[in-house]
Amino acid sequence: MTDKACFLLRIRPEHLPEYTRRHADLWPEMRAALDTAGYRNYSIFADESGLLVGYFEADDTARSAQRMAAHPVSTRWSEDIGWMFVSMDGARDTRDGHHWLQRVFDLDATRSAVRS
């Protein structure tokens, strides 16, 4: 069964082009770490205010996120781009600097329930 996770981050809006460029040129070792940690179907969306929405799937998203947080390349990546971020004021769950969202609806799950 695939687990799904979604999180929020915020960067300064003026840094969105640089943030986008750095992800277009993602370090090969970061890509390999994400693969090793079990990330699948990983996407990041942004709006003009600097709000970022990340989404990924894994067999166990919490475990995959923990693996990434503990990986040395994550530390290097965070040091390299961390200056772009601002805090998520009022966020309750900010593990690893992310504001994790709780899933409240999943269309695929409703389809599976109907088939059962």
Please identify every residue annotated as catalytic. 23
CA separation for the pair 105, 18 (Å, rounded):
33
Neighbours of 5 (CB within 10 A): 20
